[in-house]
Amino acid sequence: MKTKHLGQFRNVTTDAYSFRLTVLSTLVISVLALFGNISAQAQTSHPKTATLQERAPQTPHVYELPNQGPPTTLVLVQGNGFDPVTVIDVYFDSTKLASTTTDKNGAFGNGVVTATGATFVRIQVPATALPGEHTITAQERVGQESAQIAFLVRTDSTQFRFDAQHTGFNPYENVLNSTDVGNLVVDWQYTAGSYVYSSPSVANGIVYVGSYDYNLYALNAVTGALIWKHPTGGVITSSPAVANGVVYVASTDGNLYALNASNGSLIWEYPMGSDSDSSPMVTNGIVYIGSSDGTAYAFNAATGALQWAYATGAWIEASPAAANGAVYFASEGGVVYSFNGATGALLWQSTMGYRFDNGPAVAKGIVYLGSTGDGIVYAINADTGALIWKYPTAASIFSSPAVANGVVYVGSQDYNLYALNANTGALLWKYTTGADVASSPIVANGVVYVGSFDDNLYAFDAETGTLLWLYTTGGSPIVSSPAVADGVVYVGSELASGIYAFHLPSQ
């Protein structure tokens, strides 16, 4: 019986979905690096293992590497044990995505560089692939041989505002949309020991969220069951960030914590100069966070070593954002800062509002944020710090803006959620809720989700502002910002001390 193997590499190009690749051989790494499909960090994240040919078991076998990611993930496929010099069709589920030809040994995608380039097969997970387990199959077009591996589709939301740019936009969500979101029902609710202002993050089937009861919680994303909780010495309003199996969160005890994402064990902690409500942001192996001691911090994500620090002289409660090698902080002194993300060198600083308690979002070369002091939404050139436009609301802005498809969404204490043209600041629509909107909106698949002090979680049509759905907690304001992952909406509440999960009845 002919032996068959199908190995798989993958590469996700965004920070929110990067993962560690197993290295098949030094030569394979060189090929992947040449084609821009693997980072230096990923190359060294696992020890070198033997190639598929070296393993060559004597019975039919499907060789599987870690394989999960969101729709549109780029995947490199290889295999052997097929008939020599024969056409192979590669399928994602039942959809054919690529074809190739085996070499004289019946292998394809083995990483050997030839005159025509590497022989691996590159496919892209369809944008319509729903969350859950799928299959990648290599099938001989004219023979009997085939091999198959599993691929797990996830649309995780791994940190506050979804990504390092803090756009508040999940581009991978494909379950909930403007036509079915009105059917959302409560999936589960977990009651913490006190208020939940922290915004949940979702990674690998676990929901992470902090509470006023000093604990960081890890809950099963499907059932809401407690997996673990880790106590700190203070209140946690900070929203956790998850990267490479580690969850990062700050506490008002003045510490930044790095915990094992699976079991909650402490990996490292760093005592900052004072308490912090800032939500950590992780990108390129660095954790960035602000503190009430007026300092912008950057730490090595693996070790907790201080990479750099910059004293602004004013409380930094807002979470930073990063884009194109720069990191952006906003302080309660009304100043926006741009630093070199690696070195901490100041690139520019601009005084805009009276005070910034909410974090910036960066999209297409523009930094967006709202001022707590003057209630103005600012759009700033990301390279120079120059003002592009500003839009006044009628009250303070504690909500961090979301940016999606050329529109900026932001809440205000004047009870409104605003939708503004991202290039001009022109008002597209606004919706008046029953109270302050301090929650930060999230946008996914044409729907905007946001909470309000009127005890409601709302879902709006992102283009028109039409109300599509709302859920009333029954006397519990929602300050927490919602997260959307795998067709489920997660959010925390204040007086009910609850973490809610909403899904479609059919799920």
pLDDT digits (tens, 9 = 90+) for 94-133: 999 988 888 888 888 765 544 445 467 888 999 999 999 9
Q: Which CATH number fits domain 169-503: 3.60.15.10, 2.130.10.30, 2.130.10.10, 2.60.40.10?
A: 2.130.10.10
Report whether pLDDT(8) > 70: no
Structure tokens at 474: 């029954």
Q: What is the pLDDT of residue 64?
A: 41
Specify the higher pLDDT residue, 332 or 275: 332
Show Cβ contacts of residue 285 under 8 Å, excluding neighbours closer than 6 positions. Answer: 41, 300, 301, 302
Q: What is the pLDDT of residue 93?
A: 95
Nearest to 399 by CA among 388, 389, 413: 413
3-state secondary structure 154-183: CCCECCCCCCCCCCCEECCCCCCCCCCHHH
Residue 80 pLDDT level (bands cut at 50, 70, 90): confident
pLDDT at 199: 95
∠ at Cα 385 (379, 388), nearest 5°? Answer: 35
Within 10 angstroms of residue 270's Cβ, the number of other Cβ atoms is 19
Strand partners of residue 350: 336
The pLDDT, as a whole number, for residue 475 is 82
Q: Are 230 and 214 in contact (CB under 8 A)?
A: no
The mean pLDDT of the chain is 86
Phi, then psi, of 28 in degrees rounded to 5: -65, -40
State the pLDDT at residue 106. 84
pLDDT digits (tens, 9 = 90+) for 442-459: 999 999 999 999 999 999
Q: How confident is the model at residue 352 (pLDDT cuts 50, 70, 90)?
A: confident
Which pLDDT band holds residue 464 (cuts at 50, 70, 90)? very high
In the predicted structure, residue 348 carries a pLDDT above the cut 50: yes
Token pair of 284 as six digits: 């390129």
pLDDT of residue 39: 34
C-beta separation of 308 from 299 below 8 A: no
Q: In the predicted model, what is the mean pLDDT of residues 259-284?
A: 94
Is the pLDDT assigned to residue 9 strictly greater than 50? no
So what's the pLDDT on residue 107? 83
Q: Residue 150's Cα: distance from chain center in Å?
A: 23
Whole-number Å distance between alpha carbons of 297 and 212: 24
Q: Which residues contact 12 (CB under 8 A, 6 or more apart)?
A: 18, 19, 69, 70, 73, 74
Is the pLDDT at 56 greater than 70? The verdict is: no
Confidence at residue 110, expressed as pLDDT on a 0 to 100 scale: 66
Kindly tell me if the per-residue pLDDT of 182 is higher than 50. Answer: yes
Residue 461: how many CA atoms within 13 Å on its side-chain side?
Answer: 11
pTM for the structure as a whole: 0.86
Q: Torsion over CA of 58, 61, 64 and 70, rounded to 10 degrees? A: 160
Beta-bridge partners for 484:
489
The pLDDT value recorded for residue 31 is: 31
> Residue 15: pLDDT above 90?
no
Report whether pLDDT(412) > 50. Answer: yes
Burial 239-257 (b: 16+ CB within 10 A, else e): bbbbbeebbbbbbbbbbbb
Contact between residue 441 and residue 433 where contact means Cβ atoms under 8 Å apart: no
pLDDT of residue 111: 58
Mean pLDDT is highest, among 64-73, 115-124, 167-176, for 167-176
List Cα–Cα distances, 353 to 260, 315, 328, 396, in angstroms: 38, 14, 15, 11
Structure tokens at 410: 């932001």
pLDDT computed for residue 335 by the predictor: 95
Provide the pLDDT for residue 474.
82
Coil vs helix vs strand at 211: coil
Q: Which of 72, 100, 256 is nearest to 172 (CA)?
A: 72
230 band by pLDDT with thresholds 50, 70 and 90: very high
Domain ranges of the chain: 5-153, 169-503
DSSP code, position 71: T
pLDDT of residue 228: 98
The pLDDT value recorded for residue 434 is: 96
Count the helix, strand and coil residues of the chain and give each as a percent rounded to the nearest 5: 5, 45, 50
Contact 95/39 with Cβ under 8 angstroms? no
For residue 76, give the DSSP letter: E
